[in-house]
Structure 1
């Protein structure tokens, strides 16, 4: 798996070298990430359909809250049963993220290992401008500090990630506030797993911290996939809901 990934990145880098010169491998990582996200697009569409289906159930959820207002436990069970009957899961939006974890692990391993497939890992020496793709922010600080050539690459990366994270945070907070599942958690006194949704928007800023401690190549993967996620969801959520949809399909 690791050798296959390294080979794919090297092939993409050779194709992109006329355009990106010494930073071709960095560009190849971005392109590879985009190809992964294109492959996962059907899962993202299903997740957004699930969100729209939950919104369509909101009137029925409100009726159940009113009916069982004096019995929170029964309310909770009735609302969860409604979701199960409609084949709507409050956790369906996590699937695209979970599927990406193995890809990120491979990326991290390849750019953290001196050898891949029993051979010297030449990818570690490839660069994004002045910064080696196998280096970390601590390495950049040790070679010129924050304002050094490598440090400036990381500052630019952090700035992009922070911008995307802020956009993502604002959208997630807005969507969470309107989520009937969040309202259900508040009304029922704490649905199992619902507390996570309250704090989930803050995870967008965790990407900045992660990018500071993983190899630069993995940081490029993070910023690309995060930006793709935010833009993709914004586009999908602008589409008109399918009439009568009450399931993720």
Structure 2
């Protein structure tokens, strides 16, 4: 079932398409055939600017978790054989310090509606009962609504499609590797080993997603991952982790 057939979501999809189309028209004298792609970049940057306070909150929470690591380790040593008590004491410590073990997920969760809406805009051939004009726009000759899996399934894969999508996926993957090397998360002694491993691979999941979503959504992911790395490097200097 397509959720965007529901009246509220259908209206949201129509409004988002109209807004993106208006921005594309505004940027057309500057970018020409790449106006819609530039509009996606502008929307991405606007979303990230709005989320700067969330990023600051994330940096503060990461700093706090690193500072609490010895106390968390002590709790684990004391209550490790009583999981219920360990969980209560851990959450009490986080609560007293005004943070949460899930605080680092806020930027990702906050962006989910934006990338989901972009995905929907470039996935629907018709919006509001009319043909979606945004699907006629391209990035370096590749339609913004094309995805790698779609091109492979329809036999429309060409060198331009592979080059554009491959470049976007490579950017996301390279930034993920840089993030893993430069911004190792503060360790949580109470976190199970499988969770630590999952956090380490989570960055690369975005690269996999970028290979399957429309080019417009992959462009959003590439821009937002680069922004995230730059922002976190700056905030790490402002809120350094204790040694």
TM bucket normalised to smaller? 0.7 to 0.9
1:144 shift after superposition: 5.3
Q: Are 1:164 and 2:175 counterparts?
A: yes
Alignment of 1:103-182 (within 5 A): 103-140=114-151, 142-143=155-156, 145=158, 148-172=159-183, 174-175=184-185, 178-179=186-187, 181=188
TM-score by length of 1: 0.81
* Deviation for aligned residue 1:214: 1.2
Structure 2 unaligned segments of length 5 or more: list them.
1-11
Question: Which whole-Å CA distance do the structure 2 matches of 1:115 and 1:70 have between them?
Answer: 56
Local SS of the residue matching 1:90: coil
Residues 140-184 of structure 1 deviation map (CA, whole Å, 9 limit, x = unaligned): 553353xx2232222222221221121123245x22xx42x2x23
Q: Does 1:61 align with 2:60?
A: no
The answer to whether the aligner puts 1:207 opposite 2:206 as a matched pair is yes
User: Alignment RMSD, CA only?
Assistant: 2.4
1:190-205 map, 5 Å: 190=192, 195-205=194-204
Structure 1 residues 69 and 103: CA distance shift in structure 2, 3 A: closer
Contact 1:69 1:75 in 2 (8 A): yes
Bigger mean CA offset, 20-29 vs 220-229: 220-229
Shift of 1:27: 0.9
Describe the superposition over 1:200-234 as per-residue Cα deviations: whole angstroms up to 9, x where unpaired: 22121122221221111111111112222222112
- Indicate which of 32, 35, 45 corresponds to 1:34: 45
Structure 2 length as normaliser, TM-score? 0.83
Residue 239 (structure 1) aligns with = 238
1:113-160 deviations in whole A, cap 9, x for unaligned? 111122210001100011000111145553353xx2232222222221
Aligned to 2:13: 2
- Structure 1 residues not aligned, in runs of 5+: 242-249
Shift of 1:3: 1.8
Note the C-alpha offset of 1:94: 0.8
Given the alignment of the two structures, is residue 84 of structure 1 paired with residue 95 of structure 2, yes or no?
yes
Contact map agreement 2:63 2:239 (CA 8 A) in 1: no
Higher mean displacement: 4-13 or 55-64: 55-64
Alpha-carbon shift at residue 75 of structure 1 (Å) = 4.4
Structure 1 CA distance for aligned equivalents of residues 210 and 239 of structure 2: 35
Q: How many residues align?
A: 227
For residues 239 and 177 of structure 2, what CA distance do their matches in structure 1 show?
26
- Give SS of 2:238's match: coil
2:18 matches 1:18: no
